[in-house]
Structure 1
Amino acid sequence: KDILVIYEQEAEEWALYLKSLFGLIVNEEGILLYDLENSSCKHQELLGLLSYKCKLLILSCGLLNCLNQKRSYFLEQVLKPPDNVVILLCGVENSEILYEILTLDGESKEISTDQKPEEYILVVKGIIQPDHQTISDINLSDVRRASEETNLTFKTEVLSERLESNEQSILVLPRRLSCENPGEIFILLKDEIDEETLEIEFVADNQRIRTQTASWNKKVKYVKALDFPAGPVYVNVYCGGVIKTTAQIEYYTALEEIEPILKKVADPIAFTCQALKFSSVEKVDNVLTSLLKSKISSYEFSPFQSEEEHHQQANSHLEEFPTLLHCAARFGLKNLATFLLSCPEATQACKITNKYGDDPESIAKKHGHKELRKLIKEL
């Protein structure tokens, strides 16, 4: 018992091809092709399948769509230990969905239909004959002949088309949901389905929660979206206990929505003008100056740090704007700077450099605020 190949009916051509290919390194009698449709969870049969040295799963869209509770349990029992398992990606981009649906012990080796047959042999041989991980003893012409003799009508493109047709016949919307208020998920059906057998399963972080749908009309069903943290969640649409389609939806937070916008804002003063609907930078300058004046008069608050406080902070982390005067110099806030320069601590603030080694005067010069630079220099 050398190699067990598990497949779904639409991938039968690939299974036959792999049997002829691996027949070059082991006796074909030691290779078992196992159609998942005929899977059994009987203890004796599971023990027999576990005894194979290498288990190869052909992961196709059809296999994912036919997974029900019984077949999922079967795969969980057979696909171990993970070091002896190989997953052939056949028309699917990766195995993430499989690991979301199944509870497997660990990551297995992966190969894809884009790779050369010699690579398949090398991976499988590394499992069944770990001391002979080369293909130097195999005639490469035999490998090519095995590929040519097998009519691989089941191509990746066909799988992709089937997946697309599945998505078109059953559509899950929306694809993005707010964590704060996820709302409802709608299932749009191309054809009428027995709604009594229609179920939705949410799969995320080793959680699998299945729920019944409600009916909007004959071809539109809906379900209350469950609460999940931010990140991807897979939604399986079951009909009669069989997965008809799988969709990935994204849960997001309000902060995540606004974060990309904030990151794109290069000038915070310009952003402030837009956000607070100020007509100009001068308006922002006047408002900030007015607020600061009222703050100081009410609480005798100093806008500058003492020299000792500044050095303590400088030791813990360097800042671009160690004082408010540095900020005013950077963005050309003339009124604010004029007020700050009238404070007793202004002379000291003018000597403080930021993390780039710039004092307020050099900052104003660097950003072209000539009048502001002159004011600071005169101090």
Structure 2
Amino acid sequence: TADICDVLIVHGSDGSEWCQYLKDLFLSSIQVKKQNLLGYEVDSNGTLALEDLQVFWSSKCIVILLSKDLVMCFSKPSLIENLQKALHPPQKVVVLFCGVTDCEEFGDLFKDWPWWKKVSCDDDADAYIAAVTQTIFKDSACESATDTETELERSSIYSKKIETNQEASTVEIVHSNLVVVFPERIRCG
């Protein structure tokens, strides 16, 4: 498929619920909701079609849901080779540990591992949004990291103003904007 996306969520067969959770979370976030989101399930054979590399390369951010099923696929040399090509540049990769922990073997498999951002399923939803937002907007027209932080702060302030205005409305409106699935209730791996 030659789909173009801003945020690509790569997962194994056991990461489908987390992928949907992240899509819902990002769509509810003022900073990420206008981005095109796409889930990409690595099949149980551990293959990554060469034509799919374009989807990886065109994305602004690649979120890897690192679960047990996906790690098991890493035993396939052809998958590792294609993932090494696809997960580039390293600044646009975010790893979400989902039922697995960081270990030296990942650094051996992926030469850019040290430069990837890392979050855990135990982190708050804000950590996922922050990691993806920083990755997406790193190449914006800002002249420095300080400018980017200022943009994110303004966006956060704007988000708080909206929440305050919604609170002044009715309780139903506030609750309809909340994501009701919590990460700790979704099984990892």
Give the TM-score of the pair, scaled to structure 2.
Answer: 0.69
CA distance in 2, matches of 1:72, 1:83: 18
Deviation at 1:92, TM superposition (A): 1.5
CA distance in 2, matches of 1:118, 1:142: 18
* Residues 20 and 28, structure 1, Cα contact 8 Å, conserved in 2: no
Work out whether 1:113 is the aligned partner of 2:113: no
Q: Structure 1, residues 145-179: CA drift from partner, whole Å, max 9, x if none?
A: 22x246865424xx3xxxxxxxxxxxxxxxxxxxx
Q: Structure 1, residues 77-101: CA drift from partner, whole Å, max 9, x if none?
A: 1111111110001112215332222
Instruction: Give the aligned CA root-mean-square deviation in angstroms.
Output: 2.8
CA distance in 1, matches of 2:175, 2:137: 20
Q: Structure 1, residues 18-70: CA drift from partner, whole Å, max 9, x if none?
A: 0111112334671110001184332x431232110001101112211122112
Within a 5 Å distance, the mapping from 1:173-322 to structure 2 comes to none
1:71 aligns with 79
* Residues 118 and 143, structure 1, Cα contact 8 Å, conserved in 2: no
Work out whether 1:145 is the aligned partner of 2:149: no
Deviation at 1:142, TM superposition (A): 7.6
- The amino acid of 1:133's aligned partner reads L
Number of paired residues? 155
Q: Which has the higher contact order (CA 8 A, sep 6+)?
A: 2
- Give the % identical residues: 25
CA distance in 2, matches of 1:144, 1:113: 22
Q: Which secondary structure state, in structure 2, belongs to the residue aligned with residue 129 of structure 1?
A: helix
Q: Which secondary structure state, in structure 2, belongs to the residue aligned with residue 137 of structure 1?
A: helix
Q: Which secondary structure state, in structure 1, belongs to the residue aligned with residue 39 of structure 2?
A: strand
Describe the shift of the 1:121–1:151 C-alpha distance in structure 2 as closer, same or farther (beyond 3 A). Answer: closer
1:80 to 76, 88, 96: 88
For structure 1, the 5+ residue unaligned runs are 160-379
2:69 aligns with 62
1:20 to 3, 24, 37: 24
- The amino acid of 1:108's aligned partner reads W
Runs of 4+ in 1 over 4 A off after TM superposition: 139-144, 150-153
Deviation at 1:112, TM superposition (A): 0.5
* Residues 13 and 152, structure 1, Cα contact 8 Å, conserved in 2: no
2:141 aligns with none
Deviation at 1:136, TM superposition (A): 3.3
Describe the shift of the 1:30–1:66 C-alpha distance in structure 2 as closer, same or farther (beyond 3 A). Answer: same
CA distance in 2, matches of 1:35, 1:92: 18
2:41 to 22, 25, 35: 35
CA distance in 2, matches of 1:137, 1:3: 22
Within a 5 Å distance, the mapping from 1:322-341 to structure 2 comes to none
Give the TM-score of the pair, scaled to structure 1.
Answer: 0.37
For structure 2, the 5+ residue unaligned runs are 139-147, 164-173
| Greater strand content | 1
Describe the shift of the 1:4–1:93 C-alpha distance in structure 2 as closer, same or farther (beyond 3 A). Answer: same
CA distance in 1, matches of 2:131, 2:119: 8
